[in-house]
Amino acid sequence: METLLRSTTAYKLLARDARENRLANTYLLLMQDEDNLRAALKIFAALFFGGGAETTARIARENHPDCMILPPPGKAPDKDMAEKVVEESFLSPVEGKHKVFVLDNMHRANAVAQNKLLKSLEEPPQGVHFLLGAASEFPILPTVRSRAAKLEIPPFSQGEIEAYLKRNYSDVGNVAACAAASDGSLGRAQRLLLGGRFAELSSLAMACVTASAKDIPAAARALGGVTEKGEFLSLLRGVYRDMLFLRLGRPAVTAGGAEGERLCAIAREYTPAVLVYALDVFAEAEKQITFNANLTQCVEVALWKIDKEKRKCNKS
């Protein structure tokens, strides 16, 4: 993880500020990959203390006396936590001149908790810094955002994620396919690779792609037990992307061997324009799923739209 983060502009900016002794009072680290947000925050937090190997390891274990990481994993910051942070911020550092409060999951914090922190974020005691982490900046109050220097980690490239997976999980599953379906999120790639459901989700995705018009409802109903909504839609969109590549004379990213040949035959039923349209349709479906839309309904509507566009193009 650290190798990926060190290459980002966000990491380099904070490292520069620490090196030049001009650290801001508060930083807001934005990273859409919520699965790895806490780990990223700890890697960034080490920069406040010089970034040495021992310090980094202690922060990773969450036992550095001058680096308080809150709330507990998986929890949302609340009013009680905010009050504790404000109180603790007046205590002097134990080992050095810096004391850092790392606040995870700030996108889940309610307005009361955020407002409790405002004065401390803007005018903390000497040597105290705040590193806020959020998967999205929109739930963060404008008054909080205005007090923080923003550090944004963009989605990683497919190549970066594939290289990471190969380094860390070389003997597990289809690394290339998981990286291709990750949409730049390492957490999503890890869930696909390690969740044990990649083969099943891939099979369901292919069933959707190959469904005739009369079979679309059944193919969609088969998704009733799928809980990995985002991962599934990424895989499904990846199949259409592979078909587009094949129609353009490029190799498929996720399919090879017999599956690749089967996909090539299916791809010939579509024009490149329809496949581009399909990618847009599923990109919109992924947005809807983010707001808790029903997966079965989303996929069924998407498949009907693509089938309609396919029929229209075949007639013209």
Percent of the chain with pLDDT over 90: 63
pLDDT at 154 over 70: yes
- Please state which architecture CATH assigns to domain 197-315: Up-down Bundle (1.20)
Average pLDDT for the chain: 90
What pLDDT does 178 receive?
83
The CATH architecture annotation of domain 2-153 reads 3-Layer(aba) Sandwich (3.40)
Strands 128-134 and 149-153: unpaired
Q: Stretch 208-216: mean pLDDT, rounded?
A: 92
pLDDT digits (tens, 9 = 90+) for 69-114: 999 998 999 999 999 999 999 998 998 888 999 999 999 999 999 9
Distance CA 179, CA 172 (A): 13
| 237: pLDDT strictly greater than 80 | yes
Highest mean pLDDT among 102-111, 158-167, 204-213: 102-111
The residues spanned by each domain of the chain are: 2-153, 197-315
Residues 106 and 78: their CA atoms lie apart, in Å, by: 10
Higher pLDDT, 47 or 183: 47
Q: In angstroms, how far apart are the furthest CA atoms of the chain?
A: 75
SS3 31: strand
Amino acid residing at 267? A
Residue 258 has pLDDT above 80, yes or no: no
Return the amino acid letter for 277: Y
Lowest mean pLDDT among 12-26, 224-238, 264-278: 224-238
Average pLDDT over residues 152-165: 92
Return phi, psi of residue 91, to 5°: -85, 140
Confidence at residue 208, expressed as pLDDT on a 0 to 100 scale: 93
* pLDDT number for residue 316: 67
Strands 26-31 and 149-153: parallel
Q: What is the mean pLDDT of residues 171-191?
A: 82
| pLDDT tens digits along 125-152 | 999 999 999 999 999 999 999 999 999 9
Q: Evaluate if residue 314 carries a pLDDT over 90.
A: no
Using a pLDDT cut of 70, give the percent of the chain over it: 97
> pTM, whole model, 2 decimals?
0.77
Kindly indicate the confidence band of residue 174, based on its pLDDT and cuts at 50, 70 and 90.
confident
Place of tokens 């090196």: 19
